[in-house]
Structure 1
């Protein structure tokens, strides 16, 4: 598993350094008015060789999280994503935080994102 993870992080090693830009966003709150439109309006060509680091709090619901990841993934070459507290919060009494965390991990895998979940740092 470690070798597979290392291979993912080494994908861009041979790319010319002058072509790589790294952007960071946090607290995007994709479910707020105007944010989806702003994200969709980002240039697909301007950022296509760039890396985006997402530091959590993309959305309060899984459908919005999925939509946000899909839109942003279409704009950037690679995305590194660490879920925030809003991404992991539970809105319904019937769901537990553990289930929500697993659902967020599923979304990350489906979007093929490099990611870091809190339990991997223990």
Structure 2
């Protein structure tokens, strides 16, 4: 058994989706893949991408990234609702979002959101960072969102 990890697949870009589709259907069937977010912001594409991966790996473990929670091009208006939809897409695809033990290996996906522990927030970020336009947190500020995800862990 081998353990692979990937992030930022951005399957909404055709060349990235093509790469996903060309992954071997045989070479990884005994392996684990950790997907550390940013598969796609469109829920249907995220669902189909995770389903594709789950057919190619023995186990797929996933934690959503910021792009996966964008609602700017979604019928959902809340990123909390999007998080729940992403969770359902994972369950439908057989993808782990909780702790997963495979033999002696334990994989524990952890959720997080901006807490600014690496640097102070400023208005330049708010004006220019797409997450502040594409994510909607029902009026909660980033600190509340960060605490909510911490509690889910």
Look up the match of 1:32: 13
Q: Which of 111-120 and 66-75 deviates more?
A: 111-120
Aligned length: 102
Q: 1:63 aligns with which of 44, 61, 66?
A: 44
Q: Where in structure 2 are there 5+ consecutive unaligned residues?
A: 98-108, 112-148
Supply the distance in 2 between the matched residues of 1:33 and 1:96 (Cα, whole angstroms).
27
Are 1:77 and 2:81 matched, yes or no?
no
Deviations 1:63-103 (A, max 9, x none): 11011111111111100000000001111486111111111
Look up the match of 1:17: none
Look up the match of 1:111: 93
Are 1:96 and 2:97 matched, yes or no?
no
Supply the distance in 2 between the matched residues of 1:73 and 1:94 (Cα, whole angstroms).
25
Structure with greater Cα Rg: 2
Q: Where in structure 1 are there 5+ consecutive unaligned residues?
A: 1-19
Superposed CA RMSD: 1.5
Higher relative contact order (CA 8 A, sep 6+): 1
Supply the distance in 2 between the matched residues of 1:29 and 1:41 (Cα, whole angstroms).
15
Supply the distance in 1 between the matched residues of 2:44 and 2:64 (Cα, whole angstroms).
15
